[in-house]
Structure 1
């Protein structure tokens, strides 16, 4: 008989004594990397003006993007071949070195170098944080952890531009880079002091496997070329775009699991889903402020507020899905895709002249809710299905899918509306075309969601979910 004074078992939590330091360390690093990515756009005009580098304006962004893809691949290889925590230490030190180089730059070339170093470190860190999450947290805790990750990524979007603007105004643009250094050190100390990695069996062949970093560099250069082509919109852009497509295709063929493009059941479908989510959402997220300023004359500050509504919806939904670990992740993912598609279609009303753009607050909140359900779910599905010795490579492919799809969809949506804006044509038809194009991956994702768990694993996944409750 159980006595009345027997202490009840406490349910595990990402904030319990065994996980608290790791959780805080992970979230600190995620938030700082995200904040730097959001803040640099605010500081860059001041940096360009001081360093007389208008002709270099796009290079700090492209340099970060290219090297971050390389860093993701390197991080995945480190995670699979060695212990992830020393790799995080190296990645954070590289990221901090990039912050320091950018913060003391006296020429735009040095600033570009600093951004490239930051991108390399950030790519390594983000992938290895997923590997650590797979080791340190059980399957039942991962929905809550990825809900917290979502807040770590999205909250900087709410406060990053404002905070960076204040720092730039009072301390100068260099402060945006240099003020992060002590915070990065604090997050790293918490993470490294939280515990040790569990030993993982490594296949001898994995140690001898050649690095895919050169293919990552090729893919990153392809993405950058496509972005430049979208900005130029002239005869040279055609050749630039063709070269970018060839480079990207060659790189991705080596970097993504076989069957990703066809969304083969299992990990390939999970990685494809991440790209479909990111491409559909960020393609319109980048376009929405332009629509509101161009069509309705909103100020730059006001036009950014609907994006805040989307961020709020994302954070709220991410926290809610974390409380329902009993619901199969593929169902939550499908709901996220459908809500994202609904939000995208409804956001077309933001370009209707008679409505003044005001529906964007509600419609982009709905799209944000879809992302808050979908993004944590694909993260959980990835770790649940990845063998320990392959978590690094799969996490790298996961992030590369996100970056690639986002860049392509942002560029494509920009091209669709640029002609109407430059030529004085009606913006509404161009926006409708962009919405139609971006809704396709969201609807396709709703279909792919059912393939993220292979048929033979559905029963075991359901049993695991039941045991967790």
Structure 2
């Protein structure tokens, strides 16, 4: 159906009607698989290592998952076109399920790593295709609410994931924590079979760009390896090498007959191109809070794990609440203003964190965290929808599927840059509160500078009012 950007306001309850409830549950559960899995594993894996050994390999359980999830996400749109969304989602969910079972019943860390790699590959495909399905399963007026609902899932996972995993690990076994993914996967498969229609068009014969996918994986691996290099010079070399590899992939992809990305990805003169820069820069800038904030709270101010975790969770709470509050806004000018407000609040929040550590006042740092979460909450859904609906003809799936993949890549790159900055500033060697505070301030100053890139892109983003096609399979 044809729908303009000035559709009338709609109620949240519409997502729960018979028409959209199954689709809402399916996409939210796709997000839940990723969100809960991360918190479940991070909480239970140390206990697993104590039982089966392999402490030296524990970081690879997260690295392999991240690398394979980004590779899977990059291939998501291609698999959707070749196999159809239904087949691709069921296949990737089964892959995730097999990986879960291998990891849950592992007797060595090598088996855990194999399971985590399969989990990452499957979940990367699921996330990409679920994003691509949003504009197909929902009319334009509901898209922002779908992103709001997904933000709620992340907030629930941030609190419930560690709690559930901790209780299962403590009272039953770490294996039980891993196995929580089994019923979630089976429910997801059942929902996909119910809500996602069979493809009525013949599958496209598309060759798999294995070299480009391998290059993407290699680039992200270089980013991950940068954090374990012994010297700042080697870290810089690995990060620079990763940038060259990933930029080369984008350049070659534009000339390929089987592209992974939209044709104007990262262009500086289109809505999609500039929008993708914002999608990349915002998590790159924010990643420092995920890597170093909790650790600094514990080492500088003596916070316990629970207190520090709750402090950090204010980011997810602010994101979720703000995403819900703004989801009813339909006016294009207000949406454009909120997209620009997001990076503005991000930069302001990072700067406030710098001031908070300089003043040695935890509440000021928390205010910065809340500002960052608010920035993501007010802008992320509208930004994602703008990129989706501005894609060129035939490229909407590639633009939509790239969003979660690019977000994950942004966090990986941001973590590497934060680690590089921390090592250069002497964070690991800080033995006094003053030295630790100075190193932390340096980390967040660099993050603030990176955030300015997102801020500039936000104000450069073309957001002209336009009529868009909103596809609704229930009305097809």
TM-score (norm 2): 0.86
Count of matched residue positions in the alignment of Structure 1 and Structure 2 = 448
- Secondary structure of residue in 2 paired with 1:335: helix
Name the SS of the counterpart of 1:352 in structure 2: helix
SS of residue matched to 1:251: helix
1:289 counterpart (265, 276, 294):
294
Matched, 1:423 2:429: yes
- Write the distance in 1 (CA, Å) between the matches of 2:108 and 2:53: 8
CA distance in 2: counterparts of 1:402 and 1:26, whole angstroms: 17
- What does the per-residue CA deviation read over 1:203-234, in whole Å, with 9 as the maximum and x for residues that have no partner? xxxx4554234323322222222222223333
- 1 CA distance for matches of 2:201 and 2:263? 24
Structure-2 residue corresponding to 1:467:
none
Which structure would you say has the larger RCO, counting Cα contacts within 8 Å and 6 or more residues apart?
2
Q: Does 1:128 align with 2:137?
A: no
- Which of the residues 249, 252, 255 maps onto 1:251? 249
- Within the candidate set 204, 209, 227, 2:224 is matched to 227
Q: Secondary structure at the match of 1:23?
A: helix
**1:41 CA drift (Å):** 1.0
Q: Does 1:408 align with 2:417?
A: no
**Take 1:462 and 1:387, find their aligned partners in 2: how far apart are those partners?**
11
Gaps in structure 2 of 5+ consecutive residues = 1-8, 254-259, 471-476
Residues 309, 362 of structure 1: 8 Å contact kept: no
Q: Counterparts of 2:393 and 2:159 in 1: how far apart (Å)?
A: 35
Q: CA deviation at 1:249?
A: 3.5
Q: Is contact 2:131–2:403 with CA below 8 Å preserved after alignment?
A: no
8 Å Cα contact 2:86-2:196 kept in structure 1:
no
Query: 5+ unaligned residues in a row in structure 1: which ranges?
Result: 1-8, 465-469
Give secondary structure in 1 for the equivalent of 2:15. coil
| Partner Cα distance (1:331, 1:311) in 2 | 22
Contact 2:75 2:213 (C-alpha < 8 Å) held by counterparts: no
Match of 1:439 among 439, 448, 463: 448
Q: Which moved more, 1:405-414 or 1:94-103?
A: 405-414
String of CA shifts for 1:74-112, please: whole Å, max 9, x gaps.
211022344212211111111111111111111111110
**Partners of 1:147 and 1:92 in 2: how far apart?**
24
From 212, 216, 230, the equivalent of 2:213 is 216
Q: What's 2:166 paired with? A: 165
- SS at 1:106 equivalent: coil
Kept after mapping to 1: 8 A contact 2:85/2:196: no
Residue 187 of structure 2 corresponds to residue 183 of structure 1: no
The answer for the alignment partner of 1:349 in structure 2 is 355
Deviations 1:113-134 (A, max 9, x none): 0000001100110011112211
Q: CA RMSD in A?
A: 2.7
**Structure 2: how far apart are the matches of 1:217 and 1:395?**
21
Residues 326-353 of structure 1 show CA distances to partners (whole Å, capped at 9, x for unaligned) of 2443321111111111111111134236
Distance 1:217 1:158, change over 3 A: farther
Summarize the Cα distance change of 1:349–1:459 in structure 2 as closer, same or farther, 3 Å threshold: closer
CA-to-aligned-CA distance 1:155-183 (integer Å, 9 cap, x gap)? 21122112211111122111122122112
Larger mean CA deviation between 425-434 and 24-33 belongs to 425-434
1:23 Cα deviation (Å)?
0.7
* 1:64-75 correspondence to structure 2 within 5 Å: 64-75=65-76
Judge which range, 284-293 or 252-261, deviates more. 252-261
Q: Work out which of the residue numbers 312, 336, 339 in structure 1 matches 2:342.
A: 336
83-92 vs 437-446, which deviates more? 437-446
SS at match of 1:211: coil
Partner of 1:5: none
Q: 1:315 to 1:332 in 2, by over 3 A?
A: same
Alignment check: 8 A CA contact 1:272 1:401 kept = no
**C-alpha distance after superposition, 1:31-51 (max 9, x if no partner):** 122100122111111111211
Give CA-to-partner distance per residue, 1:233-273, whole Å, 9 cap, x none: 33765665555444333334435546544533221112111
CA distances 1:285-336 after superposition (whole Å, capped 9, x unpaired): 3221122122222222222222111111000001012111224433211111
Please give the alpha-carbon distance, in whole angstroms, between the structure 2 residues aligned to 1:450 and 1:83.
37
Q: Does the 8 A contact of 2:82 with 2:205 survive in 1?
A: no
Q: Distance in 2 between matches of 1:195 and 1:72?
A: 19
Do the aligned residues in 2 keep the contact of 1:219 with 1:249 (CA within 8 Å)?
A: no
